[in-house]
Amino acid sequence: MMASGETSSTEVTRAALDTIEKREPEINAFISVDADGALLQAEAVDDKRRRGQPVGTLAGIPVAVKDLICVRGSATTCGSRILDGYKPPYDATVVAHMRQADAVLLGKTNMDEFAMGSSNENSYFGPTRNPVNGEHVPGGSSGGSAAAVAAHETILALGSDTGGSVRQPAGYCGVVGLKPTYGRVSRYGLVAYASSLDQIGPVTKDVEDAALLLDAIAGRDARDATSAEIAKADYFEKLNAGVEGLRIGIAPEYFGPGLDPEIRTAVETAAGHLETAGATLVSDISLPVAADPDYCIGAYYIVAMGEASANLARYDGVRYAFRAEDGVSDLQQMYRLTRSEGFGEEVKRRIMLGTYVLSAGYYDAYYLKAQKVRTLIRQDFERAYERCDFLLSPVAPTTAFKLNEQVNDPLQMYLNDVYTVSVNLAGLPGISVPVATSAQGLPIGAQLLAPAFEEAGLLRVARALERLSSN
């Protein structure tokens, strides 16, 4: 529509900003909005089009960015008091790619503090509400990005996925969330929570948009040592090719006790749709470690908390952002008060647990053992993909729960990640696709998983499932 002159980027951007102004008081999906800057970017794209100049693949399209991805000159808080007011002097690589693609950057979305949470209730800037039903959470930690897309406050959004933080909120809000293979998208400029697990991914209205955004941000980056030397695929070549001849694995461990019956039915129905469309369902696949909460949840939180305790040691009140002032008499006290006042309860809990599992005398018993379990999880997936091309599972054991329902029960909160954390431990790609609606009117998502760097095939199956589920 913009290319044909039927509308303009300025009009689309104004519509997004109007929706933000209308819905933000009830949703709180954004931490900051750069309305003036967004309109200037939109006008620049419109001017390019008027002059007949070439434009990028995201030309004039509004994009929201999770507030742990650095945008030059814009506050990047990670949802934390300790970074309140910090403005990075550089762009993250994904932001630089979006600028090159002529996207319009709207602002920074709300999130669980330092990406630590599954509900978006751990933000210093207040919780985000699910736009489908404001009494429920949007999921986390990329809940602000998912809520913004679902509420039509933006067309596209970026989140980050450490243990399901793109896929789970996408499932809760009824949008598409893609976690790429570890190394597919540069992490340069992503404020680290757990460096071996974090990956930036698209949150979009549909699968085609996810392919569009992934195409813009993927690729090797010399500034990121974990960026893979693997060329990105053509994500559109077979996007609409269907699923005939593909093998879809169904592991029984994903359908055990604790799974909501409505979600079980929805995922089984999704499997039936894929089979009707020509895919072969492979049900004799087992993931004894990767899908067992005793292993995957335990290993994930030990690894993630250990890495978090190391990554968050840099926030000490000396270098930048928040520093405690009242009652400070010496350097050590300044450190203590800054971190005590600057971090929220969940972040402090994870730092303490992470420090414990890395400490002398406990490293071998906890962190090293968790890394060994991580290897077993990867081997589980490798064996499964010898028998199938893709895997289908639930995204979460329940639909979006109510605000404050689990906030005081961290162990129960951690179990919401049971179907997603193994994917991060193994470094594999996964995508959440909306497939049904519960009796309460809440979205239900299905998760598709693929071997490493097979995002093109993953998007192809997700696109087919999206179409079949909408019929």
Q: Residues with catalytic annotation?
A: 66, 141, 165
Question: What amino acid occupies position 309?
Answer: S
Per the CB < 8 A criterion, the answer to whether 418 and 296 are in contact is yes
Per the CB < 8 A criterion, the answer to whether 205 and 176 are in contact is yes
Separation between Cα atoms, residue 168 and residue 161, nearest integer Å = 9
Q: Is 395 strand, coil or helix? A: coil
Separation between Cα atoms, residue 152 and residue 106, nearest integer Å = 13
Separation between Cα atoms, residue 176 and residue 404, nearest integer Å = 25
* ∠ Cα 162 236 98 (to 5°): 55
Structure tokens at 87: 């403005």
Q: Which residue do the tokens 């350097």 mark?
A: 331
**Dihedral Cα 201, 205, 211, 216, nearest 10 deg:** -60
Structure tokens at 418: 């049971």
Q: What is the CB neighbour count within 10 angstroms for residue 421?
A: 26
Main-chain dihedrals φ then ψ at residue 377, nearest 5 degrees: -65, -45
Beta pairing, strands 280-282 & 390-394 = unpaired
Question: What amino acid occupies position 149?
Answer: V
3-state secondary structure 226-264: CCCCCCCCCCCCCCCCCCCCCEEECCHHHHCCCCCHHHH
Separation between Cα atoms, residue 386 and residue 409, nearest integer Å = 39
Q: Is the bond leading into 141 cis (omega within 30 degrees of zero)?
A: yes
Q: Which residue do the tokens 């406050």 mark?
A: 153
